[in-house]
Amino acid sequence: MPCPLVTQGSPGFHGIFGRQDRAEQFFRSGHTNNWAVLVCTSRFWFNYRHVANTLSVYRSVKRLGIPDSHIVLMLADDMACNPRNPKPATVFSHKNMELNVYGDDVEVDYRSYEVTVENFLRVLTGRIPPSTPRSKRLLSDDRSNILIYMTGHGGNGFLKFQDSEEITNVELADAFEQMWQKRRYNELLFIIDTCQGASMYERFYSPNIMALASSQVGEDSLSHQPDLGIGVHLMDRYTFYVLEFLEEIHPASQTNMNDLFQVCPKSLCVSTPGHRTDLFQRAPQNVLITDFFGSVRKVEITTETLSLDRDVAGFESKFPEEELATEPLKYAEQLPVAQIIHQKPKQKDWHPPGGFILGLWALIIMVFFKTYGIKHMKHVF
């Protein structure tokens, strides 16, 4: 039977297209903002490649639209201005020094000693001290898609932070569950580039998490290539090929997650990258790369108009009149020698003796009177 000719406005028209539209909507992500938490957990100059890994992902994520205010970047050591860096203020990802991933406009939120397991978990769960500045907070809500990238040295079930502490896969899974219960994410993409990385996502149990790792349990993630001028390995293999893949993505591209899973096969990476999608509701082929690496900007056109007050000059007069001083003010003397010499030390407030001193004296007096008897008291008084 031929398709009946329908005109716009008839219920049949909306019926067919409405359903298809709604079905497509179901497979599109419902997020309204994007966040990224990028963590490099290694300290010391020979772990240059971990900082380069994190900065490459930072660079891609910024290029695809996520602003600095929505990125929490944690670098455990400073490679760019390290005294051992022959090219200061640069971090290279390729041995011909083609790409300076450090750039000119980088904002590192957690530096050096601030990168600890405690701070990382606090950022994820949102339980941070009240005086933390905004740039150090993950202010995500239930419609945020978050990308979490971690790199460093790891093992079966743990990731080492700065050579002095570890985070286990159980702790990480619990942190994500806390995030889910507090409605701090809509969907989460977790990428880890360490040795035995797949062990870190084994224990996840919260919904809407997709995870990628650079190697399976029992395998080591290898580094890509050393640079003889700088003297260290510049990047890890997995992140190097992920960076190459991401360089081809632009904000409007329709590449999906299945392509990301194919990045770095065993022939290039030597280790076997793994992924986990059973907790994720949508199928990977419907998930765009830009859902996590790019940024959604929702623009709503409004038809309301707002009329601005033409009289801007009148604004100036609203400031209170300044009081002028009656006599000229003076600058303070920088080295008032006479005043300093005659500075009287502040009288210290008298504090009653503390508990320890009182207890000690009580003990001494008790011992004295026990030894010599109470009859000596009349000599005292």
Which residues are tagged catalytic? 153, 195
Residue nearer to another protein on the CB measure, 207 or 231: 231
- Residues belonging to the chain: 381
Select from 88-96, 178-186, 205-213, 235-243 the region that touches another protein (CB under 8 A). 88-96
111 three-state secondary structure? strand
As measured in angstroms, the least distance from the Cβ of 105 to another protein is 6
Number of residues that bind another protein (CB under 8 A): 51
Q: Does 38 bind another protein (CB under 8 A)?
A: no
Q: Is 65 in the site for another protein (CB under 8 A)?
A: no
Q: Are 192 and 212 in contact (CB under 8 A)?
A: yes
Taking the C-alpha atoms of residue 84 and residue 27, their distance in angstroms, rounded to an integer, is: 50
To another protein, the closest distance from the beta carbon of 348 in angstroms equals: 11
Please identify, among the stretches 25-33, 125-133, 217-225, 244-252, the one whose residues bind another protein according to the rule CB under 8 A.
Answer: 125-133
Do residues 45 and 79 make contact, with C-beta atoms less than 8 angstroms apart? yes
Three-state SS at 172: helix
Among the listed ranges 26-34, 83-91, 195-203, 244-252, the one in contact with another protein (CB under 8 A) is: 83-91
Q: What is the C-alpha separation between 274 and 215, in angstroms, rounded?
A: 6
Task: Considering only residues 161 through 200, tell me which ones interact with another protein, judged by CB under 8 A.
Answer: 162-164
> How far, in Å, are 124, 196, 208 from residue 240 at the CA level?
26, 18, 27
- Does position 313 interact with another protein (CB under 8 A)? The reply is no
Residues 286-321: b if buried by 16+ CB within 10 A, e if exposed? ebbbbbbbbbbeeeeeeeeeeeeeeeeeeeeeeeee
Q: Is the CB of 135 or the CB of 272 nearer to another protein? A: 135
Contact positions toward another protein, by CB under 8 A?
43-44, 78, 80-81, 87-90, 100, 102-109, 111-114, 131-136, 162-164, 319-320, 322, 324-326, 328-337, 340-341, 343, 345
